[in-house]
Structure 1
Amino acid sequence: MPIDDKDFVKLNYTGRVKETGDVFDTTYEDVAEEAGIKNDQKDYHPMVLAVGSSQLIPKLHDEIKGLEVGDKKTVEIPCEDAFGKRDPSLIKLIPMREFKRQNIKPFVGMPLTLEGNPGVVRTISGGRVRVDFNHELAGKDIVYDLEIVDTIQDDAEKIKGLIEVYYGNPNLDVEKTEIEIEDGVAKITLDKLSGFEQRTVQEVTLSKFRVARETYENIEGIEKVQFIDEFEKPEPEEETEEEADSEEVAPEVLPDDEE
């Protein structure tokens, strides 16, 4: 059956820069390792994609629609339909004194964020630092190799896939996440490891919002998403017979004058 908007698919892909062939993203561990971009914090397996969502660039969604399970396809995407053309206005010259004031020693290739915008230091010269705020793939035509592995019909499995994509906690075990869907409400109880994250409250809240938005926008019948924090008192450990038998009662010792 041809894939259409709001269908959930399991997708394998590899993204390459057309001009150089350099791999910048992939779902295959061996490809990532060979390209030198392997991330030890990432699980490499087919990603769950809600077709038509904001997960991938729009052009890719257009190319996926109409495919079926088992289909493979290579797609070339010009820069204007991928990550945009390079914008000279996004290259800023920042005085070195601004870095010194914050006790930062910049270097070429250093990533940084200014007013929420990620950038990279390109040059340092004459007391000024040239920072490029264009996307790293801006101005580059790209090629994607796609493979439709499967489709997902179960709504709870769809949500688990979205959690893997958007929640961003490498220690979270999605299989230990509980999902209950009733009367248009999806109740999500995350794996308990999610309560011990090294992220800010704002980052965690944004991750949950992304999961919720993609859920109610792409799964028919779900109007509300609730995340439930649950902490359960552990049951006391029962004493085994062996432990009980091993406990000896100390004999009563009387003073000499009471014997």
Structure 2
Amino acid sequence: MAIQKGDFIKLNYTGKFEDGRIFDTTDEELAKKEDIFNPRGLYGGDVVIVGANHTIEGLDEDLEGKEVGYNGSVVIPPEKAFGLSDPKLVETLSITKLKDRNVHPGFPVEIDGRRGVVSRVIGRRVTVDFNSPLAGKTVTYEYTIENVLETEVEKIQGLLALYTGLRDMEVETVDGVAKIYIPTGLTFNQRWLMAKNRVASELFKYADLKEVQFIEKITAESETQVPAEAEPEADLKAEPETEESSEPEV
């Protein structure tokens, strides 16, 4: 059966630049080999909802119509990947604005809470590019559609993993009501506090639930089960709407 909008699918992928460099993958061994391994990330595949902006536009569009088990690739231009570079985000500043003044092109900096990369240094003036490192890039995604999730519990756990970075959270569903047991460490996580309404909204829309209950669960092991800042998986996403926006980060 062909994949369609609203399907919850498990997706494995590897993202590459035009020169073949890998910038993102769900393959843990490959991530380690390419020196892009994130110890707080989840590997082994992402669960995404097709058509829900959980992935960049070009990949999301390519998923539709494919079958479970499909293995292929898609080349995605910047406007359907991570966006075009904005010239307004390239600024020339006095070097006195930088904490570390021994900079060079390619040097990462943070100024007034904004992260950028030095692109040029002339005397005491530096040009800093505040665009995303992925902006303006044509990328290729090689991907495999592993399966379509069918049960309510699978869908909920998959969506929770996407937004929290935690797999197999305890979930119960009865007559369209979902009870999601939240570890106490996650309860105080700012990312989660911003994301949970989004999670509920997507479950109402795509999983046909009528009520979602978030129940704080405290156990003797709670403090060691949840990282202080759980992160959503996969840079393939279009930044999960959990902090400034609420839309998933592939």
Query: What's the TM-score bracket when you normalise by the shorter of the two chains?
Result: 0.7 to 0.9
Higher RCO structure, 1 or 2 (CA under 8 Å, sep 6+) = 2
Rg larger in structure: 1
State the match for 1:25 in structure 2: 24
Contact 1:186 1:224 (C-alpha < 8 Å) held by counterparts: yes
State the match for 1:248 in structure 2: none
CA distance in 1, matches of 2:156, 2:162: 10
CA distance in 2, matches of 1:79, 1:139: 5
Q: 1:214 aligns with which of 195, 202, 209?
A: 202
State the match for 1:8 in structure 2: 8
State the match for 2:234 in structure 1: none
State the match for 1:112 in structure 2: 110
CA spacing shift, 1:53–1:132, aligned 2, 3 Å: same
Correspondence list, 1:28-67, <5 A:
28-67=27-66
CA spacing shift, 1:16–1:229, aligned 2, 3 Å: same
Letter in 1 for 2:58: K
Q: How far 1:186 moved relative to its partner?
A: 2.8
Correspondence list, 1:66-215, <5 A:
66-99=65-98, 104-105=99-100, 107-108=103-104, 109-112=107-110, 114=112, 118-168=115-165, 172=166, 174-175=167-168, 177-182=169-174, 184-195=176-187, 202-215=190-203
Q: How far 1:233 moved relative to its partner?
A: 8.9
Letter in 1 for 2:22: V
Residue deviations 1:164-219, cap 9 Å, x none?
11114xxx4x33x2223345443311234535x7xxx5433123234333323322
CA spacing shift, 1:141–1:111, aligned 2, 3 Å: same
Instruction: Using the TM superposition, name which of 1-10 and 181-190 deviates more.
Output: 181-190
CA distance in 1, matches of 2:69, 2:89: 41
State the match for 2:229 in structure 1: none
CA distance in 2, matches of 1:226, 1:4: 28
CA distance in 1, matches of 2:74, 2:67: 16
Q: How far 1:141 moved relative to its partner?
A: 1.1
Letter in 2 for 1:72: N
Contact 2:11 2:144 (C-alpha < 8 Å) held by counterparts: yes
CA spacing shift, 1:78–1:184, aligned 2, 3 Å: same
CA distance in 1, matches of 2:112, 2:213: 33
Unpaired segments ≥5 residues, structure 1:
235-259
SS in 1 for 2:217: coil
State the match for 2:216 in structure 1: 229
Identity fraction in percent? 37
CA distance in 1, matches of 2:219, 2:55: 38
CA spacing shift, 1:79–1:193, aligned 2, 3 Å: same
SS in 1 for 2:12: strand
CA distance in 2, matches of 1:80, 1:143: 13
CA spacing shift, 1:120–1:114, aligned 2, 3 Å: farther
CA distance in 2, matches of 1:128, 1:184: 60
CA spacing shift, 1:126–1:207, aligned 2, 3 Å: farther
| Count of residues paired in the alignment | 218
CA distance in 1, matches of 2:202, 2:31: 27
CA distance in 2, matches of 1:93, 1:158: 47
CA distance in 2, matches of 1:184, 1:129: 57
Unpaired segments ≥5 residues, structure 2:
222-250
Letter in 2 for 1:105: D
Q: How far 1:136 moved relative to its partner?
A: 1.0
